Chains A and B, each alone.
Chain A
């Protein structure tokens, strides 16, 4: 008997446990095939990657530093997803968030103490990111333009603005490369190795900084916001059905704008890690595709903060382990990670339901159809 499987509910452990893991296994399987094509042993590669990501404390530092970025961009995409909006503009929002940090710090860094500078920098990153998301959101809500297209366009506009400002305005005088001057040390977010040294714990230097804690705080905040507040309820409701939301007295337009602003702010926080924590100056292309990786992270993490932390960690391992892999095996470059990322988006996102009918069929072998459909 042919059953339409999409109507059959599966228990949670299958739906949010087994199927996502199967999807990732599919993506990794195809990644392995690519490695075989270019003559690299995938098993060996995995070993090098794991060792490169966790083998020594510097590696762990790098892995968690990447993870921090992915948590921010993953949360950004997830918040928008819950409102049924697709924010492809994380890249541009993070970039403009960096501009916010840069402008504030280049003006204020020699006047204010660290305790004021750090919060101001965080607010600036979030605010600028939010502004960059506000325009597409407003256009979607009130002018009916499609948010996917506008956020794509805004990524390019952000890149053009940043190149213009860094080449012509913010560049440190007498310097060739388009970078701003280095901020005063009072505006630096402490590195993790410095932070741990205060408690007498010695670890090797790495770019990991205190923004990791802020990222984890953001996860908690997003969880509370989405599932434990009225605004989160309104956001999920209007994401689920705009008409139902209207009927319930929720204004979907306001929700679209507020959800996108929150999403943009979260993406902007990438600048907290990159600009305040690592580079300490404004520079080109510091976002390095993290905004797009956020989409993969959010899809893999099923738009839930806990899932996003796990997916971010996996991508942190891929990035850091991938760098190590490129170093060990000359045939492989860091772009291998980009290809794997593409496969993960394909299998965990676009083909997320491909394996579901099979899982349902196997599940039905153990349960009778009537029992399942009547339940």
Chain B
């Protein structure tokens, strides 16, 4: 039973660390499916984490913090859209600018407003998203072996935003594949000229995509500073935006596979901590750095076409010029 609960603890940690990845990957999915490359997930998450952390510290409300995170994310998304859609700028350059801007501005504002070396003040439990006990978790754990334990130790006891992330995956799938908007969104990422010919606004669709992207990245950021941690810490995203991007590519720009990739990367992350200094049979001790680098290595290998093919939306990265 001991190995089982140890395994459950790893799965539990996996869900916690994958949540921001899943939210950010879904964010990136909207943007990239509409034809806008988004390497700025990292920056949006970081800025939103700061916005949420700051608002939670000032108002004491986790909900206002979440709203603030979403607004910050949407704001940066619209800046990205303004540069890439309206002015047809280079999408990678614009994304990079947002990342660097967020990295600098969060610390500058953090120090100016809170004077705690770039952090926001620590949040009490009332201004954070706290773990929720799902119904019957206690009873299930006692009456049903394994499955009940799984339910109470892995599924139950997360904060609200973890469950929101799962909903976001389903929601993304539904919007992208089952609604008119989703059909148009996919079309505009594959062949914007056809969408334009059909009398739809390419810019309008892409702007809504980058706004949705910003909103979801904002939730991911709010999760970091008000749910997973109790404050904003400088550079707290630590490359998770890029991992989410890697997961999106790994999942071939589809919601479910992207979520699985996030869970896999999250699992690797959770394992890395546990495997520190542990001798494994045959391979011996695995360096933590090797496990940390694995998501990036796997993505490179996948992109190189050695394990299946990842085909990006056809029009991704190409600015659309409406014929006059």
Partner of A341, one of B87, B100, B289, B306: B100
Chain B nearest CB from A151 CB (Å) reads 10
Chain B nearest CB from A363 CB (Å) reads 19
Cβ contact within 8 Å between A346 and B83: yes
Residues of B within 8 A of A88 (CB): 39, 92, 96
Given contacts A4-B324, A39-B112, contact A339 B97 (CB under 8 A): no
* A149 at interface by CB-CB < 8 Å: yes
Cβ contact within 8 Å between A333 and B107: yes
Residues of A within 8 A of B239 (CB): 156
Residue in B92, B102, B104, B292 whose Cβ sees the most chain A Cβ within 10 Å: B104
Chain A nearest CB from B306 CB (Å) reads 8
Return the CB mask of B207-224 against A: 1 if under 8 Å, else 0: 000000000000000000
Cβ contact within 8 Å between A152 and B39: yes
Chain B nearest CB from A143 CB (Å) reads 4
* B275 at interface by CB-CB < 8 Å: no
* A86 at interface by CB-CB < 8 Å: yes
Cβ contact within 8 Å between B242 and A335: no
Cβ contact within 8 Å between A157 and B93: no
What class of interface size applies to chain A in its complex with B? 35 or more
Return the CB mask of B86-123 against A: 1 if under 8 Å, else 0: 01111111101111111111011101110000100000
Cβ contact within 8 Å between B104 and A350: no
* A345 at interface by CB-CB < 8 Å: yes
- Give the complex CA separation of A352 and B312 in angstroms: 26
Cβ contact within 8 Å between B104 and A336: yes
Residues of B within 8 A of A161 (CB): 289, 293
Partner of A156, one of B88, B107, B242, B306: B242
Task: Report A292-325 residues with CB < 8 Å from chain B CB.
Answer: 292, 295-296, 299
Residues of B within 8 A of A332 (CB): 108, 112
- Give the complex CA separation of A148 and B38 in angstroms: 11
Partner of A149, one of B293, B299, B324: B299
Cβ contact within 8 Å between A349 and B104: no
Partner of B103, one of A145, A146, A338: A338
Cβ contact within 8 Å between A335 and B107: yes
Return the CB mask of A141-166 against B: 1 if under 8 Å, else 0: 00111101110111011001101100
- In the complex, which residue of chain A has the Cβ closest to the Cβ of B37? A148
Residues of A within 8 A of B118 (CB): 333, 335
- Give the complex CA separation of A275 and B104 in angstroms: 26
Residues of A within 8 A of B262 (CB): none
- In the complex, which residue of chain B has the Cβ closest to the Cβ of A338? B104
- In the complex, which residue of chain B has the Cβ closest to the Cβ of A168? B287
- Give the complex CA separation of A49 and B185 in angstroms: 47
Residues of B within 8 A of A103 (CB): none
* B308 at interface by CB-CB < 8 Å: no
Given contacts A336-B104, A340-B104, A351-B83, contact A139 B98 (CB under 8 A): no
Partner of B249, one of A149, A156, A350: A149
Chain B nearest CB from A302 CB (Å) reads 13
Residues of A within 8 A of B287 (CB): 164, 168
* B78 at interface by CB-CB < 8 Å: no
Task: Report A347-364 residues with CB < 8 Å from chain B CB.
Answer: 349-354
* A342 at interface by CB-CB < 8 Å: yes
* A34 at interface by CB-CB < 8 Å: yes
Cβ contact within 8 Å between A292 and B96: yes
Cβ contact within 8 Å between A345 and B289: no
Cβ contact within 8 Å between A342 and B102: yes
- Give the complex CA separation of A130 and B234 in angstroms: 32
Residues of A within 8 A of B83 (CB): 346, 350-351
Cβ contact within 8 Å between B304 and A346: no
Residue in B92, B98, B100, B111 whose Cβ sees the most chain A Cβ within 10 Å: B100
* A343 at interface by CB-CB < 8 Å: yes
Chain B nearest CB from A31 CB (Å) reads 10
- Give the complex CA separation of A34 and B107 in angstroms: 12
Cβ contact within 8 Å between A351 and B96: no
Residues of B within 8 A of A337 (CB): 104
Residue in B87, B94, B324 whose Cβ sees the most chain A Cβ within 10 Å: B87
* A331 at interface by CB-CB < 8 Å: yes
* A375 at interface by CB-CB < 8 Å: no
Partner of A146, one of B82, B90, B290, B303: B303
Residues of B within 8 A of A345 (CB): 93, 96-97, 100
Residues of A within 8 A of B103 (CB): 335, 338, 342
Residues of B within 8 A of A153 (CB): 242, 246, 296-297, 299-300
- Give the complex CA separation of A332 and B113 in angstroms: 11
- Give the complex CA separation of A272 and B269 in angstroms: 35
Residues of B within 8 A of A292 (CB): 96, 100
Chain B nearest CB from A331 CB (Å) reads 5
Residues of A within 8 A of B91 (CB): 350
Partner of B89, one of A86, A143, A340, A353: A353
Chain A nearest CB from B19 CB (Å) reads 21
Residue in B87, B99, B101 whose Cβ sees the most chain A Cβ within 10 Å: B101
Cβ contact within 8 Å between A339 and B88: no
Residues of A within 8 A of B292 (CB): 160
- In the complex, which residue of chain B has the Cβ closest to the Cβ of A167? B289
- In the complex, which residue of chain B has the Cβ closest to the Cβ of A39? B112
Residue in B84, B89, B290 whose Cβ sees the most chain A Cβ within 10 Å: B89
Task: Tell me the A residues contacting B by CB distance below 8 Å.
Answer: 4, 34, 37-39, 86, 88, 136, 139, 143-146, 148-150, 152-154, 156-157, 160-161, 163-164, 168, 292, 295-296, 299, 331-333, 335-343, 345-346, 349-354
Top 5 closest A-B pairs, CB basis?
A342-B101, A338-B104, A339-B104, A350-B94, A145-B303
A–B Cβ pairs within 8 angstroms, 28 of them: A4-B324, A34-B108, A37-B109, A38-B113, A88-B92, A136-B300, A145-B300, A146-B303, A148-B39, A149-B303, A152-B39, A156-B239, A156-B296, A157-B296, A160-B290, A168-B287, A292-B100, A332-B112, A335-B107, A335-B118, A339-B100, A345-B93, A346-B79, A346-B98, A349-B93, A349-B96, A351-B83, A351-B89
